[in-house]
Amino acid sequence: MEQTSQLVQTITRGIQEKKGSNIVIADLSGIDGAICHYFVICQGSSPAQVEAITESVGDFARKELSEKPTAVAGLENAHWVAMDYSDVLVHIFLPDVREYYDLEHLWDDARLTRIPDLD
């Protein structure tokens, strides 16, 4: 679990590097039937920023931990990009798409940690 925790921290730094905002970490590890241990959810203000955050997360995970996602979906329009690191799923949204899908509340019994935005 230590490696997964390190991955979540590294992903968070990758998001912050490109000024991703409203970062929420949902801990699903105690939920039976959950598809992974953690969701890392954030948003960018434009499709270009969503793409930049996606690239930054991938770079940080690869350079610091030699981790690569098993799949990346949504780059075609960059409104919602999902990156699958098996135990960690990263969701990078445009604000209106994030509000619509409301993943934080979809998993009501997950423990949520909100990361303050960097200035």
**pLDDT score of 64:** 97
Q: How far apart are CA 17 and CA 3, in angstroms?
A: 21
Structure tokens at 116: 């303050």
What 3-state DSSP class applies to 102? coil
Strand partners, 98: none
Task: Give pLDDT, residue 87.
Answer: 95
pTM score of the predicted model: 0.95
Q: What is the pLDDT of residues 75-104, one digit of tens each?
A: 999 999 999 999 999 999 999 999 999 998
Give the Cα separation of 101 and 21 in Å (integer). Answer: 17
In tens, the pLDDT along 35-62 reads 999 999 999 999 999 999 999 999 999 9
Handedness of CA 88, 47, 53, 26 (dihedral sign): negative
What integer pLDDT is reported at residue 106 of this predicted model? 85
Provide the pLDDT for residue 1: 67
pLDDT, average across residues 59-79: 97
Quick: pLDDT tens for 1-20: 689 999 999 999 999 999 99
